[in-house]
A and B are shown apart, each in its own frame.
Chain A
């Protein structure tokens, strides 16, 4: 459990309350939502965002506790501080939601994303792509004489940067997992 244990749906106990809630600044936050892995739970979360007009920048979900049937949804969202507070409170209201953590304000956290990136090409471009992949610590997970599939993990920024570099070198397809995130330390 995180040091700043936030009660389900609570705004009062959030460190976030120390900052002005009603401002126009757009902020990007990463939320970790622990839910019962039951039918429709993802639809509830997504429906909340679409129904109330909130943004989803990235969303990942998978069962993390097979015995307890708990899933962890990591959602990256952008909004004013007031909207972010609302999103957390609204998420907290969903019956199968057990915990909502705002990793952006609850101390430091790590964020990682995995991407598969396919490059087509021959000759010099192919060599350059391999060289850059090495710098980014991307692995080759598939190759033919005319193509590579690279696997890269890192922050979304790093994945973006790598994909941008690959574009002129023959990038044809990208698959990204979206962000997974955890708080640092204990």
Chain B
């Protein structure tokens, strides 16, 4: 049954049909009819952001912490172009986002009309798919297809551009169940022969390792559950990318910590020395592999991914399995159990003792200093004081982000929201707002650098308006710390424009926004200050003055392989000796 209504009404009806409860948006001329419909209903909550980039990042935070698609509504022209960074961010990190943009009326398209931009042209390379809807009769069907594309297969952002005359015109509404979604149906079941090959490899491997990524989280809670079962039953060590943190609990003894450029020593050496690498929903990103021709030279590699283009893109794999992680892991587990739950116990035991040697290096060790707060210490204390809370963490981009990944532990998927692929400074503030909107009673902390934080700080106003008690934990080194680190290590200590001058007084800034501001610079005050932040019922901006010239280690300098890790203060002499056999 179809019914007649205006395009604007259809938008709201389609969102309702899709089970949308929250939209992040910003109005303007080309979306006024839709805003008028938003005004006349109460089922869908509209969150007014302060910048369209913030709307997309907030929707990303919402999506990653709920598993549901994030929805954004913005106007034409500048509204749409402001959304581009967020769309690219969501594309790189495979986050399901549906962006609805207003457009000038169809009869004015191409005339350089006021606030006209070629939105589908501009966003074609930064969306999974996009549509310009020129006929009201096709509007609701297109929105339903947009949700389908955003959420199925490898998730990603989509955009529907809706000219204003299409919003005003009447047309017939297509319900969700009747919408055409058949043309996009990615393969979810893995090839059984290759799965069997992987199971056999698991049974005999001497030095296996799971290398997991954001795909596990994207596949849904069942995938994380199955991964846990498989790791625990086989006793195979597991590491994960930045994107995959939380899919497997950090408190487990099988957990090696994050891998990659700033990954843990034991994780990277396990990757380098393994004889079986099982990539589950990761994509051999260059931050992970380091120098490609020296990447894990002795391993056979399996790769489970729903996106065929991820397979053999940068690293040639021996066992490619195209399918949904949840489906494939279920098959792997069933087959492995049916064949008698075999592993190479003796070799695994040996492998673990090797890993224990690497662990003993304690690569994250640091000496707290009495005078200034070391950023690692700030995060270690934050972890200690918040880990038992119902906690969600977002971050900005830089050293603080890597330290957060290293020093905070994640027990569940969807608890860690960070800009991985694009590395977008300015992600964290709006993402934290989006997470808090989805989880009003949870503790939501944005671990930030002072420079990144300034990039989208206007969203604090959103937080205040909607009483989202986000905690902004700023590790303030008065530096573009990560840039400074690279300049120190790679550019002869010429610190070209990598410091933050004329910083605002964050406490006063907090007050100006109507939040609470806390300044902390003495390690002795740190715990009390963090507790004060946690106890405050409302948004907090915590200005944590930290050591200015701290470097983030371990670090694999770009262009180097995993076994060329820099460890900073920790000595590696013995450990490298002990590991030599595996590494060559």
Interface residues of B in 302-331 (CB under 8 A from A): 307-309, 311-313, 316, 320, 322
Most-contacted residue by chain A among B120, B130, B191, B308 (CB, 10 A): B308
Question: Which of A43, A51, A90, A96 is the one whose CB lies under 8 Å from B309?
Answer: A90
How many chain A residues have a CB neighbour from B under 8 Å? 25
Q: How far is the CA of A92 from the CA of B187 in the complex (A)?
A: 12
* B132 pairs with A11, CB closer than 8 A: no
Given A11-B320, A89-B311, residue A40 in contact with residue B125 (CB < 8 A): no
Chain B nearest CB, measured from A80 CB (Å)? 12
Interfacial chain A residues near B121, Cβ < 8 Å: 40, 43
* A95 pairs with B307, CB closer than 8 A: no
Chain B nearest CB, measured from A5 CB (Å)? 14
Given A12-B191, A12-B194, residue A93 in contact with residue B313 (CB < 8 A): no
Given A43-B124, A96-B183, residue A10 in contact with residue B322 (CB < 8 A): yes
Given A12-B194, A39-B132, residue A93 in contact with residue B309 (CB < 8 A): yes
Question: Interface code B18-35, partner A: CB below 8 Å = 1, 0 otherwise?
Answer: 000000000000000000
Q: How far is the CA of A63 from the CA of B307 in the complex (A)?
A: 28
Interface residues of B in 410-445 (CB under 8 A from A): none
* A95 pairs with B184, CB closer than 8 A: yes
Question: Which of A22, A90, A98 is the one whose CB lies under 8 Å from B183?
Answer: A98
* A47 pairs with B125, CB closer than 8 A: yes
* B125 pairs with A51, CB closer than 8 A: yes
* B312 pairs with A82, CB closer than 8 A: yes
* A95 pairs with B129, CB closer than 8 A: yes
How many pairs of residues, A versus B, come closer than 8 Å at their CB atoms? 58
Interfacial chain B residues near A51, Cβ < 8 Å: 125
Q: How far is the CA of A169 from the CA of B97 in the complex (A)?
A: 60
Interface residues of B in 90-142 (CB under 8 A from A): 120-121, 124-125, 128-130, 132
Question: Which of B124, B149, B312 is the one whose CB lies under 8 Å from A11?
Answer: B312
Q: How far is the CA of A90 from the CA of B149 in the complex (A)?
A: 16
A113 at interface, CB cutoff 8 A: no
Chain A nearest CB, measured from B92 CB (Å)? 13
Chain A contacts to B: CB under 8 angstroms: 7, 9-12, 21-22, 36, 39-40, 43-44, 47, 51, 82, 85-86, 89-90, 92-96, 98
What are 30 A-B contacts with C-beta separation under 8 Å? A10-B187, A10-B308, A11-B311, A12-B308, A12-B311, A21-B312, A21-B316, A22-B312, A39-B132, A40-B120, A40-B121, A43-B121, A44-B124, A47-B124, A51-B125, A82-B316, A86-B309, A89-B308, A89-B311, A90-B309, A92-B309, A93-B307, A93-B308, A93-B309, A94-B129, A95-B128, A95-B129, A95-B149, A95-B183, A95-B184
Chain B contacts to A: CB under 8 angstroms: 120-121, 124-125, 128-130, 132, 149, 183-184, 187, 191, 194, 307-309, 311-313, 316, 320, 322
